[in-house]
Structure 1
Amino acid sequence: MKKNNIPHLKSISLCLLLALTNILYAQIPSNTYFFEEEVDAKNITHELKIDGDYFTHTVYEKKPAQFIMTRGGFVQVKDNELVLQLEFNSNYENDQLKTLNIPFKTEGENLILEMKSKQTFKPIAPLEQELDGKWLFATRGPDTGQERRNEENPRKTLKFLKNGRFQWIAYNTDTMKFFGTGGGSFSSKNGKYVEHIEFFSKDNSRVGATLNFNYELKNADWHHTGKNSKGEPMYEIWAKRKN
């Protein structure tokens, strides 16, 4: 009888663990959130994207356009804290942060983070589109069997699309070197992909520009063609991120 009960107990324990995990992650539902604050007479925007166990936080000024910082990586919940293992941190040379613990709580749909001050992030309305998700740059097109950059490569360019908001980030996970980022709103429909730039770390003057591209999904790849922010022709292939 005891031997027969052991698998049953293991099954119960597994169910409890899965239930607990679901409860924890239910506290930080996948969404895009915004918080705005006034600092030295400047209106500062904080944009937060959470997708499962992935988290990005970007700070910028809209008028005049000024990029401030971005950081992101994998997130877990421990007690009442978000525990972040950062993949990128634009301020790494100054703060040396690779991990971060942020006390948090929820009030209705709002997410309240205790960073330097209490920050109440409000979610935006859900908007599902065909290219939603996290993508990693794989190679230049056309797809003729050339070498691809795989997920294990520390040199990454991530494009994160959720709820009508996009952000690309270029970085190195080994050295924490940050190469650049840009983002804003986007639309993807019927093979047409459009970006409206709202922040750009390399060149604030590019904020306000609208870029039009064509896209095609082939197997698990996103084939992205058009002209880049400098007006030069481009063909990129992006792979859906698995981890």
Structure 2
Amino acid sequence: MRNVSKFLVFILMISALVVNAQDVPIPSAWSAEIAGQKAIMIVTDGHFSMAYFDAKDHQFGYTEGGKWSMASDASVKLVREYHTKDTAMVGHEDIVDVDYDGQRLFIGTQAWAVLDDGAPGDLGGAWMITGRKRDGEMQPMRRGSRITMKIMSGTRFQWIAYDTATKKFSGSGGGTYTSTDGKYVETIDFFSKDNNRVGAVLPFDFDLKEGDWHHSGLSSKGDPIYEVWSLRE
């Protein structure tokens, strides 16, 4: 009986150490070095994005992302909405093995180190632009296959403009952000259209109204902007 009790205690101790994919913090951000490039992955509830770029010369590599869902306790289903390196992957479904040890996330054999677990930012989630002020009037954005998304963890952001029907990619940029006392500030780490923008710090005002993100300030060109972003389903 004593040996049985010791065995049960051992099993309980091992069980307490088991962490599976369902325990991954959402939203969160992760980093890895893949094929000589820096990779940043942002995961939110139901959406993900990966960006690859050279951290030394600031050259943008490519980005891919879309929707995810649990396939099992140890695997996820990925459906890509964009893939700038291989457009044939758009719409393709993959089932990939996922493991999480409390610090590192393994997707297949690739290890990702955690950057944040959704804190401290106020804007974690996958947002889609739904309105823009023009000539003093707020105009709703027509919904269609063209999507402008901004995906956020607690400290990282990435925006992506793409078309799921034509598979056309219009641009992407990302980096770190802070959101404090109504001030939203971006620091750019990569930008597909102009790597000279890397390092730029862009301050904006932000407010959350009825679940929507109201974003205002000056664009990188110095033009006034007022945008409304809504969480994606």
* TM bucket, shorter chain: 0.7 to 0.9
Q: In the alignment, does 2:98 pair up with 1:104?
A: yes
What are the equivalent positions in structure 2 for 1:155-174 lying under 5 Å apart? 155-174=146-165
Residue number in structure 2 paired with 1:35: 32
Q: In the alignment, does 2:25 pair up with 1:26?
A: no
Residue number in structure 2 paired with 1:194: 185
Query: CA shift at 1:233, angstroms?
Result: 2.1
Distance 2:57 2:29 in 1: 23
Q: Which has the higher contact order (CA 8 A, sep 6+)?
A: 2
Query: CA shift at 1:203, angstroms?
Result: 0.9
Distance 1:139 1:53 in 2: 23
Q: In the alignment, does 2:209 pair up with 1:224?
A: no
1:128 to 120, 143, 147: 120
Given residue 147 of structure 1, which amino acid in structure 2 is its aligned partner?
A: P
Q: For structure 1, which runs of at least 5 residues remain unmatched after alignment?
A: 1-22
TM-score scaled by structure 1? 0.77
Distance 1:208 1:146 in 2: 32
1:82 to 67, 76, 79: 76
TM-score scaled by structure 2? 0.80
Distance 2:23 2:65 in 1: 19
Given residue 65 of structure 1, which amino acid in structure 2 is its aligned partner?
A: H
Given residue 103 of structure 1, which amino acid in structure 2 is its aligned partner?
A: D
Given residue 22 of structure 2, which amino acid in structure 1 is its aligned partner?
A: A
Distance 1:52 1:147 in 2: 25
Given residue 132 of structure 1, which amino acid in structure 2 is its aligned partner?
A: G
Q: For structure 2, which runs of at least 5 residues remain unmatched after alignment?
A: 1-18
Q: Is the Cα contact below 8 Å between 1:29 and 1:52 reproduced in 2?
A: no
Residue number in structure 2 paired with 1:46: 39
Residue number in structure 1 paired with 2:231: 240
Q: Is the Cα contact below 8 Å between 2:32 and 2:113 reproduced in 1?
A: yes
Q: Is the Cα contact below 8 Å between 2:42 and 2:50 reproduced in 1?
A: yes
Q: In the alignment, does 2:137 pair up with 1:141?
A: no
Residue number in structure 2 paired with 1:9: none
Query: CA shift at 1:168, angstroms?
Result: 0.6
Distance 1:157 1:226 in 2: 18
Q: More displaced, 81-90 or 29-38?
A: 29-38
Query: CA shift at 1:88, angstroms?
Result: 1.5
CA pair 120-218 structure 1, distance change in 2 beyond 3 A = same
CA pair 103-97 structure 1, distance change in 2 beyond 3 A = farther
Distance 1:59 1:48 in 2: 9
Given residue 206 of structure 1, which amino acid in structure 2 is its aligned partner?
A: R
Aligned-residue CA RMSD (Å): 2.3
CA pair 211-24 structure 1, distance change in 2 beyond 3 A = same
Distance 1:130 1:28 in 2: 19
